[in-house]
Amino acid sequence: MRPSHADLLSRFRSLNVPGDPLLLANVWDAGSAAVAAAGAPALASTSAGVAWAHAVPDGGGLGREQALAAVGRMVTAAGPIPFSADLEGGYGRTSADTAATVVEALRRGAVGVNLEDGPRPAEEWAAHLAAVRDAAEAAGLGVFINARTDVFLSGGASEDELVDEALRRGRLYVEAGADGVFVPGAASASAVGRIVAGLRAPVNVMASPGGPSIAELAGLGVARVSLGSAVAEAAYACAAGATATLLRGELPVEAPGLGYAELNAAFAARA
């Protein structure tokens, strides 16, 4: 039996510990969620991966109902562990739209959400986050809001300027009701360390090749480390590479991984 929403939320909150980060796998459909759930303390979706699974581009290509339906399938596949849904910018233009999307995701079993500011002014996005907090409370459903700021992904400034803007936005978002702040693209130890020190909230970063190790991120006080769309990218790269090899008239080299029998048995056990 799946634990109650309140129990799952409490467990999820307890996992976001500065200095002992939650290592959060990002999934994109029911199958990836079922496989990744084995031994994982919690799961999260990647909006890019979910969009690609529907053969549409990330960043607005996926519709609200498609996104919510995917959340429900992934939650079911994840089983009795907390699930956080990446809901991009809330799939709507107004704060009421964002709040309605989040409440519906909670009703479908998510206990956490990622919400990204993108190019919006910080004050405007803070109002969206406040509306989400109010709507969740009115619905009697708690939520862990992980407020993502895209300043490092946008670039165009020095690291010091990007850190200052991430801190300005992060503080506004926490004041508006966010539980944590996600700063993808912040890859240097100096930037991550300054962001963690400057925010009174758990900080989530995306691990990246060449960046600080998980142990180093823990030492900097990071509370959550995720992979974003990297695993989905690797899965699609494997499919594209194997197909290209076959079309050259060659047999693909068998990659190490889960075999037919193992996968079939894993899914049969959940049926």
Residue 254: per-residue pLDDT: 73
Residue 161: per-residue pLDDT: 98
Q: Which segment of 58-62, 111-115, 117-121 scores lowest on mean pLDDT?
A: 58-62
Binned at pLDDT 50, 70 and 90, residue 116 comes out as very high
Average pLDDT over residues 76-97: 97
Residue 234: per-residue pLDDT: 94
All structural domains of the chain with their residue ranges: 5-229
pLDDT tens digits along 233-259? 999 999 999 999 999 999 887 766 788
Residue 271 has pLDDT above 90, yes or no: no
Residue 255: per-residue pLDDT: 66
pLDDT tens digits along 192-230? 999 999 999 999 999 988 999 999 999 999 999 999 999
Q: Give a three-class secondary structure readout of the chain.
A: CCCCHHHHHHHHHHHCCCCCCEEEEEECCHHHHHHHCCCCCCEEECHHHHHHHCCCCCCCCCCHHHHHHHHHHHHHHHCCCCEEEECCCCCCCCHHHHHHHHHHHHHCCCCEEEEECCCCCHHHHHHHHHHHHHHHHHCCCCCEEEEECCHHHHCCCCHHHHHHHHHHHHHHHHHHCCCEEECCCCCCHHHHHHHHHHCCCCEEEECCCCCCCHHHHHHCCCCEEECCCHHHHHHHHHHHHHHHHHHCCCCCCCCCCCCHHHHHHHHHHHC
Binned at pLDDT 50, 70 and 90, residue 268 comes out as confident
Average pLDDT over residues 54-78: 96
Q: What is the CATH number of domain 5-229?
A: 3.20.20.60
Average pLDDT over residues 12-41: 97
> How high is the mean pLDDT of the chain?
95
